[in-house]
Every structure is written in C-alpha cells, then in structure tokens.
Structure 1
C-alpha cells in the first residue's frame, strides 16, 4: 500500500504552505505520494529516483520536481544529501505576474514532472554546476533557517527566498542545451503566453504559433506533459481564476466571468455547474463543495 503524506503535518510547523529542510536519504525510501509539490536539490551522493513509470539515476547537482499526488520513491541510495522543498503554489502568495511569465519555470515545475510520469521520459534534465549548486544551497539554507527560527517577518522572507530559488533554477534551466529541454521551454512559452493573455479570446492557432509547431503537435505535446490539450488547459486556468474571485472578492457573477476570461456569464455559469456540480452562486454561498 502506497503511503500518502499530508501537507498539514509539515505546514502546521511553518505557518505557511512551504517547508524547506536538508535531509539525508538512507538506502531507500518506499513509494509514497503527497498532497503538495516537492522540489529536490541533490547536494551529494547518488542513487535512483523511482516513479510509477520510470527509474533514473540521481547525483550531486540534480534538480527535479515531484507534483502533488505523483507517486515516487528512492532506491539504491549511497550518502544522498539533499534539500527538500515542500510547497503548495495554489496557497502561497507568489508574485505570479513575474514568476509565472518565465517559460523555463513552467518547464521545470509543471511540464517536466508531467512527462516524467509517462513512457516518453525516464529522467530529469537539470543538473547544476558547482557554482550554481552552491548558490541554490545557500538560498535554500537561508529559507530553512527562516522557517526554523520564525523571527518577525519570517514568512515573507521565506517565500521571497523560495521565489529567488525558483527564478535562479529557471534561469539555469533556460540555459540548458538539449532537444527535450528545448521542447519543454517552447511549451513553457505557451503557458506563459496563456498566463499573460488569459482574458483574451485565445485560439489553438495562436498558441501553436507561439510554440512554433503545428496545432496537432501542440495538442500532442500538451497531452503528454499535462494530460490535457491546450484549450482545455486554458479553460482550467480560467476556472482556477474564477474560484479565487468567488472566494476572495464581492464581484458579481458577471464580473467574475469577465475577469476570468469568459466572455458570456451564462456560458460561464453553465460550464461551472457542468464541471463542479453547482452554480457559481451556490459555491460562493458555501452550499456545495467543489467535486
């Protein structure tokens, strides 16, 4: 039976949906899942990282992300020393207008973990140089210290250090050379384009043009990495935006629809009910949890 780890056990200690700590891996860690995402930065040692569909060797400098609900394990480890960063970006107050516009951020944190769980990929792509590894280790060490000491302002400082690490890693990823990593960065450009133009009438042709591929190739690549075609991903992001507006603002349903990228509020309401089993108004009133 695969064990599931829960974020509240970690985040209750830090007060925010972010936990950073340095740990040593024994010979193995059994297969498990968690309801948060995990960034791993290997500082020393070597071993094998295992997912449900792949197994690949890891060593000092390797960086990879495991998304929430993805099963993974470690095997054949010898003196592995790494930083674990546990986080939930849906609940962290990140500067989305900046970070989410980086194509390499999407490639590292969303796209690569997606294709790693398919037969199309059996490894990670980012290995840091000694200099970059030392820089990232320093940033994460400071973040871990902030979360441990909990001095006034520690939450904001820890989140800012997490963003600094994410940006630095994204820059390293963008500098890599390779066919597969290059393909993921092209897809990352599409996701960045969606983030910046979510309120516009996006088309498959526009997004294929941003990636520099055909519409059919873009559909296939999105399905491989994210489990859905581009247009469905756009709708998914619009619903996520709408849910935040419904929960955190007093905007009318028509305003929520408009501010989420839905041109017609009636269409928005119908699609919301079809997807979540309740109307936007019922969800806001707390009468129905999202299914």
Structure 2
C-alpha cells in the first residue's frame, strides 16, 4: 500500500545493537495502517478492537495473542477499552541463538508461516496462560527499563517528538540484556508450545462474568453492592474484580455506568420524560452528574442528544 505510513525503528529500540523492547498501551486508540522493519508479539489484556492487516479486519478480544511481521501493513479500528502489551524485536535475535528454536512445535507456524500471504498469526489463551506470558513481558520490560516509570507505546502522530526525546540511546548493560533475552526466549518457547492449544470456548469464570453482566443489565437502576454481586456469581470479591476487569476492560462500577447511560439514551429518544426524571429512573443521583457521565460516554449533552434524534426523525 503506497499510502501506508512507516514507523521508524529508533522510536522502538533505545539500544540500537539490541533490538528488543516492551511497551504498554493502557487505552489503545484507533491507529492508521503502518509498516516497520521489525516484528512484534502483542498481548490483548482487555477490551476489544478490529486489527487491520493488509486491508483485512480481524476481531480482537482479551486473551488474544498475535505475532506479526512488521512489513505487513497493520493498524487498529474501533478500539474499546483496549489494553495491550507490545513485545517488539528484530528476528535476527532468534537467529543468533545456539539452540534450534525452530524445533519447538508451533514455532514455524506462529512466527514464520504466512497466513494467506499476510504474515499474521493469532491465538487465544485462557486467563492463566495470558497471565503467565504477561509476567514474562513485564520481566523483559523491568530488565530493559529498570526505573519506576513504565515505557508507554508511541502514538503515530507523536513519533517526531518522541524521536527527539529518544535521541540519546540507553547505556549498554549486557547483564540486563542477557536476562531480557532469557525471558524473551521463554516467552517465544511457551507461545510456540501453546500454538495449537484450544481453550474451552466457555469457561466457568467467563460464564460467571456473563451472569454478572446480565445482572447489571437487569438491575441497572439499583445501587451496586460489589460484595453481593460477587457472591451472586459464586466468586470471591477479589477474584471477581480481577477477572471482571480482565474480560471487560472495566470495573463493575464503570460497566454499570455504561449500561445506565445506554438505557438513558434509549429513554431520551423514546419518551417525553424530562432529563432529570430519566436520570433518576436510570440510577443517577442527580441531573448534573448524569449530564457529565452522559457527555463523557456519548460526546454530547442529553438535551442535544434528544434534539438530534428528533431532527433525524423528521
């Protein structure tokens, strides 16, 4: 694609002679299709999106892990609460390893086989396996960036500014690089072994979260009791919150707020009730708080939303 943007290598690798790094997106935005001359392993920790690869779209969700050749145009569309970890590397790193990583089952298919000529492979991990590879990516990051501040991924539109900020390479630390490489090889090895693993389509934990989501949909106007909601689905409070956030990308409170705003939007377009009446009916304590929440989620005030709906109906 002639109009595809090129993402520069120096934005990703602060140590030119050691092309391995990890970066984090806490809320990944939509992204134009780009190319680069390195590879990446991406872990989808929460949220949803469509991955654009060579003009085609692939749905992504929490638990998905994909390996991609950077020369293939790729981007993101329709991202929602998307949290990802990118492990970026030059494939020459693997070629320098004495042991034959290619003998691992699944390695050739995941990291080198070209899917429909696109060089893109995606696999899905259950929560336990996803947590394991996330720990490995965090271990790589801590070796290469030992300070308290995590390295954030670079938005395409910010790349020039970041290039200036990253102009000074990090000092070489061969000991840390050795440990980072060890964790990276562990990551590659596990993903290769798990390449053909098929998790259960519906696990008990996912079913529990689905039950919680259904409860919030049906009881959206009621105050949220976190302990009671966890009890209803048969989970401990701590475990429930951790898995709920992992699957949905939101806390139960934030999910409930989204449901309430959605219900309110429906009432604004289908009834003549006042904004204050609708706010109270949907569980908001007062009209001003409702207006702030509605604007944050919908992008306009409730009254403007109602007016736009009336105009469209004419």
**TM range, normalised to the smaller chain?**
0.5 to 0.7
CA contact (8 A) 2:28 2:83 kept: no
Q: Deviations over 1:93-135 (max 9, x none)?
A: 6435331211301111111xx21545xx9x8541001000000
Q: Deviations over 1:58-79 (max 9, x none)?
A: 0111011110311001000011
How many residues end up aligned between the 2 structures? 172
Counting only pairs closer than 5 Å after superposition, residues 47-62 of structure 1 correspond to structure 2 as 47-62=49-64
Q: Deviations over 1:155-204 (max 9, x none)?
A: 01111111000111111114349xxxxxxxxxxxxxxxxxxxxxxxxxxx
Partner of 1:234: none
Partner of 1:131: 128
Partner of 2:185: 163
Structure of larger gyration radius: 2
**2-structure distance, mates of 1:116, 1:41:** 22
CA contact (8 A) 1:43 1:82 kept: yes
Gaps of 5+ in 2: 147-171, 200-314
CA contact (8 A) 2:52 2:74 kept: yes
CA contact (8 A) 1:54 1:116 kept: no
> What is the root-mean-square deviation in Å for CA atoms of aligned residues?
2.4
CA drift at 1:26: 3.5
Q: Deviations over 1:130-151 (max 9, x none)?
A: 0000000001001011110276
**1-structure distance, mates of 2:8, 2:110:** 23
> Cα 1:14–1:80, aligned 2, differ >3 Å: closer, same or farther?
farther
**1-structure distance, mates of 2:197, 2:59:** 22
**2-structure distance, mates of 1:55, 1:96:** 37
Poorly superposed stretches of 4+, deviation over 4 Å: 91-94
CA contact (8 A) 1:48 1:74 kept: yes
**2-structure distance, mates of 1:36, 1:47:** 23
Q: 2:141 aligns with which of 144, 152, 158?
A: 144
> Cα 1:152–1:115, aligned 2, differ >3 Å: closer, same or farther?
closer
Counting only pairs closer than 5 Å after superposition, residues 229-240 of structure 1 correspond to structure 2 as none
Partner of 1:85: 87
| TM-score, normalising length: structure 2 | 0.50
**1-structure distance, mates of 2:183, 2:93:** 16
**2-structure distance, mates of 1:91, 1:138:** 21
**1-structure distance, mates of 2:141, 2:33:** 25
Q: Deviations over 1:225-280 (max 9, x none)?
A: xxxxxxxxxxxxxxxxxxxxxxxxxxxxxxxxxxxxxxxxxxxxxxxxxxxxxxxx
Gaps of 5+ in 1: 178-291
| TM-score, normalising length: structure 1 | 0.54
**2-structure distance, mates of 1:124, 1:4:** 21
Q: Secondary structure in 1 aligned to 2:179?
A: helix
**2-structure distance, mates of 1:37, 1:124:** 12
